[in-house]
């Protein structure tokens, strides 16, 4: 009987080792989109929503003075930090976890509840993480590409990640109904602010491109995979060589 | 015996010198490549900085930014690689027209983006050799936004040291344009001349 806790401890240690030694899932190079026709219909809806709601809202919101918009976005970001710390911890990224923790403490206190971002100036920029990344680190593969209604480009793995992050968000779980609404409200305003800041870029993808679906898909996958490549410390990528492509064949 | 020894010794020294100098030349020529590539990025950064820091009409600024990238980007290779296999069946005059049109499209689409730089600040982090050239890793500082990691792929295979691709936070410009130009060509039933006119803004 005395052996039991010891055995279970060994078992836990063993499982952790297996988990870590399994390593990250491979990073895909190509586009895997078996549900393309469904995704394209969702994209059409999203584009319509952007045209009639998000884009005009972002134009209106730009009227609000910049410091106020920045304050709201900072506040929204700060509330996401505890969730990132949890993901850092379960990925065994202890430096990221402590950096994000210090950031959260500084911005919540000195930054007046997160309205300001003094931590970035102190050398504590946000070290982004989410549960989609955690799944990747645990060895779960990317899965097919998905375009989500409202939220836009994603993958199956990231869709699950989003749901887990939402369900397990400590800030949301620890707060009452009115604060939850404030939380949701500031997150929405942050998204509207971002749409405004990147207006030229987003417009060029959504409305100038002849295939906005394919462009959004490529952009999303490239950016997400680059983020995961950084997570895995796999930085040096070999590119397609256009000179070889054109002249040497 | 001594003579043999001395000859051996001299021979050995000679071989070592040859080896050493070849080694030096190899490493120096590679280092030169890297520094040449970085030099180009510095030059671009400086010129962009001068353009955006002088307060002038926006259209003048955009025109000047376009001329910077016209000088320092190898738009010919970008055009040919984004066109894909269709370049093999096109006539040389069609290709010339296409390359010219692609340059107009490329400059019009991307050069204006560089207005968003804060004081044109581009700091070089590192560089490494890649196939056909050098990748220069930089951090680009933006107004009101977290800095971006921008990789500039530089080559001298056109005869001059020029940029042939830009990768912004993992987003590869040539990959995006391959998709875009591919779709445009498909939408025009493979008609390259029609594609070229569209790229020039004539529909």
Confidence band for B202, pLDDT divided at 50, 70 and 90 = low
pLDDT value at B3 more than 80: no
* Identity of the residue in B113, B132, B176 whose CB atom sits nearest the CB atom of A219: B176
Q: Which helix (H) or strand (E) holds A86?
A: helix A66-90
ipTM of the complex: 0.82
pLDDT digits (tens, 9 = 90+) for B47-100: 988 888 887 788 888 999 999 999 999 999 999 999 999 999 999 999 999 999
Q: Dihedral sign for Cα A6, A10, A16, A19, please.
A: negative
Residue that is written with structure tokens 């403490």 in the block: A105
Q: Shortest CA distance to A133 belongs to which of A231, A211, A2?
A: A231
> What's the rounded Cα separation, in Å, for the pair B85 and B75?
17
What rounded mean pLDDT belongs to chain B?
A: 86
CB atoms within 10 A of CB A107: 26
Beta-carbon contacts below 8 Å between A and B: 77
State the pLDDT at residue B90. Answer: 93
**Domain locations in chain B?**
34-200
Confidence band for B16, pLDDT divided at 50, 70 and 90 = confident
Contact across the interface for A215 and B179, Cβ inside 8 Å: yes
Contact across the interface for A246 and B109, Cβ inside 8 Å: no
A240 chain-B contacts, CB cut-off 8 A: 81, 174-175
How far away is chain A from the Cα of B43, in angstroms, using its nearest Cα? 23
Residues of chain A with pLDDT under 50: 1
Nearest CA in chain A to B133: A241
pLDDT digits (tens, 9 = 90+) for B113-152: 888 777 768 899 999 998 889 999 999 888 777 788 999 9
Assign domain B34-200 to a CATH class. Answer: alpha beta
- Pairing between strand A152-155 and A145-148? antiparallel
DSSP A210: S
Q: What is the CA radius of gyration of chain A?
A: 21
> What's the rounded Cα separation, in Å, for the pair B165 and B160?
15
């Amino acid at each position: 009987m005395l052996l039991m806790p010891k055995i279970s401890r060994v078992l836990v240690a063993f499982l952790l080792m297996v988990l870590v030694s399994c390593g990250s899932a491979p990073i895909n190079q190509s586009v895997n989109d078996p549900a393309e026709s469904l995704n394209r219909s969702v994209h059409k809806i999203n584009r319509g929503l952007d045209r009639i709601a998000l884009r005009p809202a972002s134009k209106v919101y730009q009227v609000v003075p910049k410091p106020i918009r920045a304050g709201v976005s900072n506040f929204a970001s700060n509330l996401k930090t505890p969730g990132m710390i949890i993901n850092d911890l379960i990925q065994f990224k202890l430096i990221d976890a402590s950096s994000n923790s210090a950031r959260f403490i500084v911005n919540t206190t000195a930054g007046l509840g997160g309205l300001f971002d003094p931590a970035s100036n102190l050398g504590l920029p946000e070290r982004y993480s989410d549960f989609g990344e955690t799944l990747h680190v645990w060895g779960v593969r990317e899965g097919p590409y998905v375009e989500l209604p409202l939220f836009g480009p994603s993958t199956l793995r990231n869709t699950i990640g989003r749901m887990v992050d939402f369900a397990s968000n400590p800030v949301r779980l620890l707060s009452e109904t009115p604060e939850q609404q404030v939380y949701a409200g500031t997150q929405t305003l942050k998204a509207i602010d971002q749409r405004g800041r990147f207006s030229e870029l987003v417009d060029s993808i959504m409305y100038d491109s002849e295939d906005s679906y394919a462009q959004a898909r490529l952009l999303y996958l490239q950016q997400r995979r680059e983020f995961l490549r950084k997570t895995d410390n796999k930085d040096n990528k070999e590119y397609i060589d256009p000179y070889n492509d054109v002249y040497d064949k | 015996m001594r003579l043999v020894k001395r000859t051996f010794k001299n021979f050995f020294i000679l071989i070592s010198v040859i080896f050493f100098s070849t080694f030096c030349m190899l490493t120096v020529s590679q280092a030169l490549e890297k520094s040449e590539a970085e030099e180009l990025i510095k030059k671009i950064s400086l010129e962009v900085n001068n353009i955006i820091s002088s307060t002038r009409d926006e259209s003048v600024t955009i025109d000047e930014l376009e001329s910077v990238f016209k000088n320092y980007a190898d738009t010919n290779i970008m055009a040919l690689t984004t066109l894909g296999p269709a370049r093999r069946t096109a006539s040389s005059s069609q290709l010339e027209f296409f390359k010219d049109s692609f340059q107009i499209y490329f400059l019009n689409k991307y050069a204006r983006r560089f207005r968003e730089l804060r004081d044109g600040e581009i700091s070089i982090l590192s560089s490494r050799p890649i196939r056909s050239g050098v990748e220069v890793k930089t951090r680009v500082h933006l107004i009101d936004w977290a800095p971006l990691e921008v990789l500039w792929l530089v080559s001298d295979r056109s005869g001059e040291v020029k940029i042939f691709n830009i990768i912004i936070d993992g987003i590869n410009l040539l990959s995006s344009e391959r998709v875009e130009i591919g779709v445009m060509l498909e939408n025009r039933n493979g008609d390259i001349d029609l594609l070229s006119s569209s790229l020039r803004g004539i529909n």
